[in-house]
Amino acid sequence: MEQQPQLNDHNKQEYPPMHTTEHLLNATMVKTFGCPRSRNAHIEKKKSKCDYELSTCPSDEQIQAIEDKVNEVIRQNLPVTIEFMPQEDAKKIVDLSKLPEDASETLRIVRIGDYDACACIGQHVENTSEIGTFKIISYDYDEERKVLRMRFKLIK
């Protein structure tokens, strides 16, 4: 089923390598900590940030392990593919809890090899080899809100 995504002003300006990296970071956080995908993300070409709901602040070693894992996945040169499927089928393979109520019945699913699959209308690279090196710039943890904010960039 071939369809063109509906791009709004925000995702027309996305930087595909950074957006694909956000997906890899989300998948790595979910696999490592069992947390939901980022609750809030700000993706830009120079640097980006994602917020994650975590019960405790990760150690410096855990943060380094996240960076290392994302870079390991990038170096696997995984294909990034897009497919369209009905919501009913999509909910069997991706988390649709953040999907707006007025979302289309047909969803665009972005897969990064066998590492991640997510409903997404954004622009992506065709292969992780196009990304470069992922670098966590800084992070902080809000103890009251139980939210980890990670800031990161890509190095070519």
The answer to whether residue 129 is domain-embedded is yes
- Min mean pLDDT across 10-19, 44-53, 88-97 is at 10-19
Is there a domain that residue 65 lies in? yes
pLDDT at 102 over 50: yes
- The whole-chain average pLDDT of the chain stands at 92
Examine residue 42 and state whether it is found in any structural domain, yes or no. Answer: yes
Whichever domain contains 18, its CATH number is 3.30.980.10
Inform me whether the pLDDT recorded for 47 exceeds 50: yes
pLDDT band at 75 (very low <50, low <70, confident <90, very high): very high
Domain for residue 95, yes or no?
A: no
Residue among 86, 85, 95, 90 at smallest CA distance from 38: 95
Round to whole Å and give the CA distance between 24 and 112.
Answer: 8
Q: What is the reported pLDDT for 98?
A: 86
Which residues is 134 bridged to in the sheet? 154
Residue 5 has what pLDDT?
A: 45
- Structurally, the chain folds into a number of domains equal to 1
Q: What is the model's pLDDT at position 13?
A: 54
Does residue 142 belong to any structural domain of this protein? yes
DSSP per position, 123-152: ---SBGGGT-EEEEEEEEEETTTTEEEEEE
**CA atoms 61, 52, 85, 129: torsion sign:** negative
Boundaries of domain holding 142: 9-80+121-155
